[in-house]
Every structure is written in structure tokens, then in C-alpha cells.
Amino acid sequence: MADPDSVPDLTALVECRHLSFGYGERLVLDDISLTVPRGKVTALMGASGGGKTTMLRLIGGQVRAQQGEMLFDGNDVGKLDQDRLYTARRRMGMLFQFGALFADLSVYENVAFPLREHTTLPEDMIRDIVLMKLEAVGVRGARDLMPSEVSGGMNRRVALARAIALDPDLIMYDEPFSGLDPISLGTAARLVRQLNDTLGITSLVVSHEIPETFRMSDQVIVLANGRIAAQGTPEQVRESSDPLVYQFVHALGDGPVQFQYPGPAVAQDFSGGLA
């Protein structure tokens, strides 16, 4: 009989198995196992420095697991050669924090860029695809503007159009709501949900914005201290009795996550300074 750990979960597009990774001597992820179900919106949450963005980098192959496996559609990303890794990446879309549009390219040219880079489509077909993607996120009328000429919320929507230009199977969002006003934030969250369901894709969202993220997600995973502190539906995570998860979900100042960075006692520092 096959080892269950050696058989890919066919319901998961991304599967992380007993994965550990660190920078230097600092262990960021410690024996993590999780799944990102196909066709669903999964939120990856937790305090700053908990390894959320590192998880996205592991999926994309920018860094490789030091132990364990990171599977994308059943293939261990860490063991792919360059050609197969680039092939896998073409099935992934990425919305970077604050959009990361090319400042010297127009809105239209930003969305056309991945199509020109990764396909041999004729320009008339690229034009149709770009306009369709911009229409899907509500900014087709801004196609001739430069990134400096659009608002923060529109910038994020243009970046989302670029992320879906190649019709990826997976879209990863790194803090897609940072710096947005309440209206733009709500619009962005609805777009994530609508595009996921309309295009039949899988979404992995790194976010600290609890109300909107919980509202749009099918699954929430909370990382803390290098491990999974909670995993389940938004309601299950909201009702967690884990002290760290409770502090995070309810934005409490007192709890396992301390305000003060660890250091010598105050009396020791001040008495030493007066000596």
C-alpha cells in the first residue's frame, strides 16, 4: 500500500507537506502542512513576520524548502528544473503589495506585458485580451493613462488585470488591501471573490484586513511562531479559543504577542546607563 504522504491530494492545487524554511539561523516555517483547495479562496493570515510572504515565495520557487515539500498541482516546486519551474510559474498570477506596476508603461502596456513576454499572440488578439481583462476589473476606460495618473484603488485593479492576463490556475495576493480607502477595499475584495468564481481559479490571499478577508474567503489559515495556529472556515477561526488566534482576530493589545521587543529589564538598562 502506498504511503499516504507520497500521494498528492487531487483536491488541492497547492499542498505543503512538513515544510521547514528559515533565513540564516532564524526558522520562519517549522514543519508546516497545509492545502489550498482548487477553486476556492484561501486566506493566509497572522502577525507580521510570521512567514506568509515567504510561503508565497516558496510556491513560486523564488526560495526552496530546506525540509519537506511544496507541491503545485502534484509537483514538488523545489525539485523542478528551470524550464519546468518557468512552465509552472506561467500558471500562476501574482498581485504584489501596492500593485508594482511598471511606472514607465501605460495601463494598457502593463497588462499587455505578460502576454508579449510569454506568448506569440498577434497584436490584435493581445489588444482584445487586454481590453477584456481591464473591463473585468472596471478600468477599461483608463487604458491610456500612466500608473501615476490613477488612484491607489485603480492601480490595484490594473495590477489584478495584469495578474489574470494569462488565465492562470492560481492567483496569489500579497496584501492586496494595504493603503486602500474603505470603498476601494470593499471593491477589491469583491473582485477577488468574483474573479475566483467566474474564472474558476484558485486564490491565495495574504492579508491583515480581517472583516473583508473573512467575508470573501472559503478557508482561513493563521500562521504564528512558524506553525499553523488555526485552520478552517472563517467562522471556525473566529471562534477559536487559542489565545494567539483570539488576540489576532479581535485586535487585542494584550496577549501572547507582546508590545515590547524582548530585551534586558528596564532597571538593568537604566542602572547601567547611570553607573
Q: Summarize pLDDT for 104-161 with one digit per residue, the tens.
A: 999 999 999 989 988 899 999 999 999 999 998 888 988 999 998 988 778 888 988 9
Weakest mean pLDDT among 1-5, 32-36, 208-212, 268-272: 1-5
Number of domain units in the chain: 2
Tell me, what CATH number does 53's domain have?
3.40.50.300
Task: Clarify whether residues 249 and 140 are in a common domain.
Answer: no
Task: Clarify whether residues 52 and 175 are in a common domain.
Answer: yes
Task: Clarify whether residues 46 and 172 are in a common domain.
Answer: yes
Confidence of residue 258 (pLDDT cuts 50, 70, 90): low
Q: Cβ atoms within 10 A of the Cβ of 116, count?
A: 13
Confidence of residue 256 (pLDDT cuts 50, 70, 90): low
Task: Clarify whether residues 108 and 133 are in a common domain.
Answer: yes
- The predicted model gives 211-237 an average pLDDT of 90
Q: Within a domain: residue 267?
A: no
Task: Clarify whether residues 87 and 130 are in a common domain.
Answer: no
Q: Provide DSSP, 17-67.
A: EEEEEEETTEEEEEEEEEEEETTSEEEEE-STTSSHHHHHHHHHTSS--SE
**Average confidence score pLDDT of the chain:** 86
Task: Clarify whether residues 27 and 161 are in a common domain.
Answer: no
The answer on pLDDT for 170 being more than 80 is yes
Confidence of residue 261 (pLDDT cuts 50, 70, 90): low
Q: Within a domain: residue 273?
A: no
Strands, DSSP E only, in 116-232? 170-174, 202-206, 219-224, 227-232
Task: Clarify whether residues 174 and 236 are in a common domain.
Answer: yes
Domain of 156?
104-166
Structure confidence by residue, pLDDT tens digits, 54-71:
999 999 999 999 999 999
Task: Clarify whether residues 56 and 173 are in a common domain.
Answer: yes
Task: Clarify whether residues 80 and 173 are in a common domain.
Answer: yes
Q: Within a domain: residue 220?
A: yes
Give the pTM: 0.82
Structure confidence by residue, pLDDT tens digits, 135-144:
988 889 889 9
Weakest mean pLDDT among 84-88, 106-110, 169-173, 257-261: 257-261
Task: Clarify whether residues 228 and 246 are in a common domain.
Answer: yes
- Phi/psi of residue 37, each to 5°? -65, 145
The answer on pLDDT for 2 being more than 60 is no
Give the model's pLDDT for residue 259. 55
Task: Clarify whether residues 42 and 15 are in a common domain.
Answer: yes
